Chains A and B, each alone.
Chain A
Amino acid sequence: MSDTAEVILEIKDLDISFRSSGETIHAIRGVNMTMRRGETMAIVGESGSGKSVTMKAAMGILPDNAVINGGSVLYRMESGSEPVDLLKADTGWLRDNIRGRSIAMVFQDPMTSLNPTMSIGNQLISAIRSHENISRSEASGRAVELLEEVGITDPVRRMRQYPHEFSGGMRQRIVIAIALSCNPSLLICDEPTTALDVTIQDRILDLIISLQQKRSLSVIYITHNLGVVARVADYVNVMYAGKIIETGTIFDVFYDPRHPYTWGLLSAIPDGESSDELYSIPGTPPVLSEEPVGDAFAPRNPYALEIDFKEEPPMFPISETHAAATWLLDERAPKVERPRELNERIEKMKREASEYVR
């Protein structure tokens, strides 16, 4: 979390559209984010907000109907080296140097990311050998070590087993082992625990945290679960309709949220005590086949000002780490308080936190 570490990934003004059946969907509408080596960043948002597309662009695995309208994804492969723009890089070079090598990805459903007809030993060995020119037996030894590292007991025997012989949590461990097989610097976890139960989720998150410390990995989590974000991340970017609408450290965003959409997300989690009506954001997320006029969130925003329907708000800096895109932060805006229930909840979280630290 140190601010002195070098920048490993910098996304600038990323803008992506999808063409589908005569329509153009403007999925990413100017995304900016910076990440330093060793950090853990979370991207939160609903489906269609653009969180997965942003990361797929970075890995060069966008579907064929995607059009990159502009922007850059600067990635520093090794410490001290010059950053490379991954959007301009050659696909062959990306395949050999970036994808599955310097940047690895863990997907949501471990059953679909593993090959059901191949023993997990063979899958690991082929992953290792596709990037490194080593013998089969050498790769096999490495595979056993990797399985051990991700917490699979009796790895030599289990190398011969097939995905269906493992539980969901164990499968996700194997997927993580494959992701780590080529010593990546950056690990992108796309909803890594959504398909798993809470007890298993807890262990998988623990595993990723411990691997991260051991291997000094930078990790990006794409998730919609704010509990997971609070548990693992240093920084969080909240996305809505193809834009980042709030960014900050987890302390900024969970203890002092500024964007009404973030307020809504935080208020919609039941806190286990009150049984009043759960706060819910009205309406549904926009379909980006039409360019939103003004702030894309305005139609669902009970705090929207007149200008929200006319002009898109810029990112207003709040502190060195914290910024949000809402006109409420403009100095000319009327003073608007957070919903009372949310404020009470934040106060309670802070009290619990101070007791916890003591």
Chain B
Amino acid sequence: MSDEKKTLLKVEGLTMKFGPRGRQNTVIHNVSFEIGEGETFGLVGESGSGKSTIGRCIIGLYKPCGGSIRFQGEIMEPGEMRREIQMIFQDPMASLNPRKKVGDIVGAGLDIHKLYKSREERDELIGSILERVGLSRDQANRYPAQFSGGQRQRVGIARALIMNPRLIIADECIAALDASIQAQIVNLIRNIQRETGTSFLFISHDLSMVRYLSDRIGVLHRGFLLETGKPDELFGHPVHPYTRNLLSSIPSPNPIVQLHPEEHYDYETSGIVYENGTWHTVGESSSHLVLCTDDEYVKWGAGK
């Protein structure tokens, strides 16, 4: 989709079902998108929309039921895990082993893949990555409980970063943090983006943070990717009624200017059937796409 960048990850027709045979629920419907080298793709949607499931399929925690995931041009086996793809989780307390020292948590990937020749080299790698995320070297000997929430999330980022990943999947990685700490972590992620050129799949329900961090955004609802585009395209000219409803629901920190959705969107009564939609380009832009039928395309004024 981005012309100037090489494609790093290509997801095509991804489908995921859960539940016992015969009574399966489809939670991801035929989702396709690409992430370029050094690009950040933001995935937004309500809880249960399938954001995390997509992330978990890519990293190999789930085996997709259909579709393909290509990484650096190669098709990945369902459930295949790669060193070049790392993940930062939501809850920094639940995702760090409380009985291990932070240095060993961060260095676990190095140990598994035997990525060092000597003990000194290992400690040096761990120390420098801790400094990179804003912690000090001697904190490697402490336990997660001795860290604050924001510091723990820095440990989670260090653990992902030490493997020199090409793609980091950040699943709601700031949701559990306090307002004043969120901005610190977001700035850290941005600096890492710029300095290392790592691609990100940034999964969040916080639309203003997604807008701030992403090069392109995808809107997910009920397991369907409904609309994708650059932040300005999506926020400036949202086309799909769900996207419009979502964006106008963000409460503004301006007491007098409070936008309200013109009407509440309800899939059941909207008359839209996501299954019938196909991808249409919005206006002239090659990056702004919406899932709809030809009739809906005209009705929503997407041709403009």
Contact = CB atoms under 8 A, between A and B. Distances in A.
Interface of A: 46-47, 168, 197-203, 205, 224-231, 250-251, 254-255, 264-266, 268-270, 272, 275, 277-282, 284-285, 349, 352-353, 356-357
A230 to B, nearest CB: 4
Interface in B41-74: 46-47
A270 B212 contact: yes
Contacts of B187: 277-278, 280
B251 A270 contact: no
Contacts, number: 116
Contacts of A255: 255
Contact of A268 (B150, B183, B235, B254): B183
A279 to B, nearest CB: 7
Contacts of B249: 198-199, 201-202
B257 A225 contact: no
A205 B249 CA distance: 11
B134 to A, nearest CB: 10
Given A224-B179, A284-B150, A353-B255, 13 more contacts: A46-B179, A168-B47, A197-B47, A198-B205, A198-B207, A227-B250, A230-B252, A280-B183, A280-B186, A281-B183, A285-B180, A353-B254, A357-B256
Interface of B: 46-47, 148, 150-151, 178-184, 186-187, 190, 205, 207-209, 211-212, 235, 245-246, 249-258, 260-261, 264-265
Given A278-B183, A352-B257, A269 B208 contact: yes
Contact of A199 (B178, B235, B265): B265
A228 B245 contact: no
A192 B190 CA distance: 31
A250 B252 CA distance: 12
A199 B246 contact: yes
B148 A284 contact: yes
B179 A272 contact: no
Contacts of A269: 208, 253
A119 B253 CA distance: 39
Contacts of B190: 277-278
B85 to A, nearest CB: 26
Nearest to B213: A270
